[in-house]
């Protein structure tokens, strides 16, 4: 029995989701108004920081389970003046997101799978739902915060249950298998870009302690 004069065994008051938790999340891109058509960055979705780094300002909302409605803020790197590492990490995360959302094995290199890993623009990522592996980093104040660094592929044993569908993951080479929350169109069929707001302002950053993912120092 817990004593009301000794609180050493009380649970810590933390708002951080445990490291390694798997959860279905929905990505909302907080538009930053920066475009570079030569790079395929259109629609005002990208944000350019004061250091010249370019990224997608992602708000990931847990849609189901114990942590439903919790929000995690993470950046998806597009460009860093310090080198390609941050952009490569961003591309790797987006590849995983598409695999997870569209039910594609990462080992599947069939034409259908390759088509499923292509997007018409960042509008295709805004609203995408996938299974994420939740990580823990530190914010600008040195406090723990959640981050999204990786997606869970359909060959993971818990993928089907978390995505809310009972079918087993498709075998490599069998084609595109949309999952709940994935775009309705076949990936080989061009989709009409979603209408972007006529004017994007700089997206305000979440206040300290909310889990906002500050970009790494080497991305600045």
Three-class SS string for the chain? Answer: CCCCCCCCCCCCCCCCCCCCCEEEEEEEEECCCEEEHHHCEEEEEEEECCCCCEEEEEEEEECCCCCCCCEEEEEEEEECCCCCHHHHHHHHHHHHHHHHHHCCCCCCCCHHHHHHCCCCCHHHCCCCEEEEEEEEEECCCCCEEEEEEEECCCCCCCHHHHHCCCCCCCCCCCCCCCCCCCCCCCCCCCCCCCCCCCCCCCCCCCCCCCCCCCCCHHHC
For residue 157, the model assigns a pLDDT of 95
C-alpha–C-alpha distance, residues 167 and 160, integer Å: 7
| Sign of the alpha-carbon dihedral angle for 196, 76, 37, 48 | positive
**168-197 residue pLDDT tens:** 444 444 444 444 444 434 344 334 444 444
**59-101 residue pLDDT tens:** 999 999 999 999 999 999 999 999 999 999 999 999 999 999 9
Going by DSSP bridges, is the β-strand pair 22-30/129-138 parallel, antiparallel, or unpaired? antiparallel
For residue 4, the model assigns a pLDDT of 80
Q: How many domains does the chain have?
A: 1
Q: Is residue 68 part of a domain?
A: yes
Domain extent for 150: 22-213
Q: Is residue 16 part of a domain?
A: no
For residue 41, the model assigns a pLDDT of 96
**Cβ atoms of 26 and 45 closer than 8 Å:** no
Q: Is residue 11 part of a domain?
A: no
Q: Count CB-CB contacts under 10 A for residue 1.
A: 3
Q: Is residue 124 part of a domain?
A: yes
Q: Is residue 70 part of a domain?
A: yes
Q: Provide the token pair at 93.
A: 């995360």
> Which of 50, 52, 69 has its CA nearest to residue 60?
69
C-alpha–C-alpha distance, residues 208 and 214, integer Å: 10
pLDDT grade, residue 8 (50/70/90)? Answer: confident
**116-174 residue pLDDT tens:** 999 999 999 999 999 999 999 998 888 899 999 999 999 999 999 999 853 344 444 44
Q: Is residue 3 part of a domain?
A: no
Torsions phi, psi of 113, nearest 5? -65, -40
Q: Is residue 17 part of a domain?
A: no
Q: Is residue 113 part of a domain?
A: yes
For residue 13, the model assigns a pLDDT of 59
């Amino acid at each position: 029995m817990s004593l009301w004069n000794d609180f050493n065994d009380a649970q810590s008051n933390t708002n951080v989701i445990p490291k390694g938790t798997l959860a279905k999340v929905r990505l909302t891109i907080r538009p930053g108004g920066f475009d570079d058509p030569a790079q395929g960055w259109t629609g005002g979705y990208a944000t350019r920081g004061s250091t010249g780094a370019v990224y997608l300002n992602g708000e990931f909302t847990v849609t189901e389970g114990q942590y439903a409605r919790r929000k995690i803020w993470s950046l998806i790197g597009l460009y860093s003046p310090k080198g390609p590492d941050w952009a490569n990490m961003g591309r790797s995360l987006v590849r995983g997101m598409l695999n997870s959302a569209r039910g594609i094995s990462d080992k599947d290199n069939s034409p259908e799978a390759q088509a499923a890993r292509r997007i018409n623009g960042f509008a295709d990522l805004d609203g995408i739902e996938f299974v994420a592996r939740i990580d823990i980093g530190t914010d600008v104040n040195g406090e723990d915060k959640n981050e999204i660094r990786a997606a869970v592929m359909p060959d993971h044993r818990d993928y089907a249950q978390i995505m809310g569908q009972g079918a087993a993951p498709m075998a490599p080479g069998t084609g595109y298998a949309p999952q709940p929350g994935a775009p309705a169109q076949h990936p080989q069929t061009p989709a009409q870009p979603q209408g972007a707001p006529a004017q994007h302002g700089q997206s305000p950053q979440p206040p300290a302690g909310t889990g906002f993912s500050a970009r790494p120092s080497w991305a600045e």
